[in-house]
Structure 1
Amino acid sequence: MALASAVLTAACSDTTGSRGTPQFSRQITFPDFKNTLLGLPVNGAARVKVELSPHGLIAREVKVQDPLDVTSHERVESRVTDVMLSTGGEQGILTLEPGFQVSFTQNTKFAAGEVALTLQQFVDQVNAALASNPRVFLPVEAERSPASPLVLGPGDPFPAAQLDLEDEVRGPELHININSANLVEPGVGDCTVATLGASPLGCLRLLGVTIGVDHTTEFEAVLLGVVETRFEGVVDCNTLSVTSAHEGSFSLVGQTTMIEIVAATKLELESGDDEQLADLAAVQAACAASPPQMVHVDGEGIPGMTAGTIEATEAEFEVEEQEVAPEAVEAKG
């Protein structure tokens, strides 16, 4: 028997912010991102996460994070390609892929895994790796407190309070504060096809490097105070609209709320049941069958862009088992 269709609300998430509160993100456009930076108050900042492809100068993802995060530690993850030490040996500069500058002093804390290092020991390990054949670019994570200044200048090096040599890093990846001063228009400075190898929509100048954003860059922004919505029920085939196998919308039987499946929606196939449907094309085929099959959906989402809609973050479709009338048996005697 089919479960009654329902849209349930619950404040829960598998993503949490720096203060342990539930967080959800929405995809935004580059103009939205620019407007966020241009709309900051004087001396304001936005905390962003910037992910780059290895060896590339085009951002893979740019995410605007919780405004409260601007006071948490900033972080840079990448691999060391060069190190320069001052004549006196009391300070130096690291160059990280793809050119980020990180400064350090005798007050910086150094470590390799769980082992604390001196400044000289740290530099010696980096130099030994760079001198090996083939050269080894050691993974490193740099941190600093953004209290002073809140936002570094576009060409400023990252003043590391701590430098940790790691087994591996996800980088190049930045978690830093920025503002409109970090924006670079296309065609200005290094924000060009010749430098970036791709036609940029615009650029960000970060830690001395011009990072491009193009049509492949994903932009996201954390949604504050958003409550997750859970939905479960039978797909109303009369409302099903399919744009592609992974994009479309529908409502549940007995409900008016439209549930939107978007490119970012995770379609679950964990149970491996034969009744599971892989995508909206399969749902559409089930609805078009003769007789139409009953499709059950279970998922989670966040409020959509328009009233009365839910943007699904995950969904699982499966064909409902329908009761079959018993066949008549002819008695023979």
Structure 2
Amino acid sequence: MHNLISNPALYLAATLCSLSPLCLADTVFLLNGDKISGEIKEFNDQDLIIKTSYAPKIAIQRSAILSFEVSTPKPWSVGRSIQDISIQASEQHGMVLINHQQTPVDELRFSQHYTDSAWNYNGSVETTLDVTKNKKNSQKLHIKGDITAETLQWRHTIKTEVRYETEDDLTKRNTLEGHYSLDYLINEHWLLRQENFYQEDKLGTDTHSFYAALGPGYRFWGAGRDKLDFVVTYNHFWLGQQSFKLELNAWAASLNYKQYWFDGILESYADLQIAFPDIPAIDYISNSTVGLKYLLTQRIYLSFKYDFNDTQTVIGNTRDTSYTLGLGVNF
């Protein structure tokens, strides 16, 4: 195994560079003994992106990195919280020194949008095939998409979903959903969320519903793509059909989780919400989604999703569950 001690010249160069005020370049030390100096632009789940004097961008796979150092303090994601830190090279494989403490490279992420007001965009489009347990001739087409735009303090998220289902040549479901949320990230933990949701069911009675919500949230961790948020909101609902309209208020709590594994190949996620309306007829309404995404290529992934919806009223309990297999594209 290569390390900095086994290469005294490399270790001496790293030490002198860290002590010299004239040495302002970030340096990446590779397992094969090479080093690359320049400015680190990004460190994501797959690659470290560095700009050098001879190339605008070089991508280095995480698995090829022995250690690295950063010339000036910058906001990095360390253990899923953003910290303004300096990083020195470590003698141990896959480690760096932060405040003289050994820190695994796997815990670090960096993006330029942590440090300025530039917008960072990401999203996906997915088509799914439901897995059902019945003997009827059923077809279920689900198409969904999402896009997120964020800076260090603001995050906009838009999600849409179309569901069209038939059973024995009869249309059983034809719905359109749209969701928009705006998060103001007060600091690395606290946030304020405003969100809107719209759903339209074009089957038979032409039912539509809308709610607007506002409330505080707490981020247990989250920077880059990983996150665990807990949010409490006060919601106002508008429900309507051809024959009636209804308005009600509700307190709601939601949990939003996302985490990447094995250098970003596998993603686990969950969105859980429970609402308590202010009318005696409804005890609670809960909506839960948990799933996995497996990256086939840099952009294309397979997904598995489980949806569980539960409504408790004075006349009984209504539950709706589904398992979904899908194919999607990240952008």
More helix by share: 1
Higher strand share goes to which structure? 2
Quick one: higher RCO (CA 8 Å, sep 6+), 1 or 2?
1
Q: TM-score, normalised by structure 1?
A: 0.23
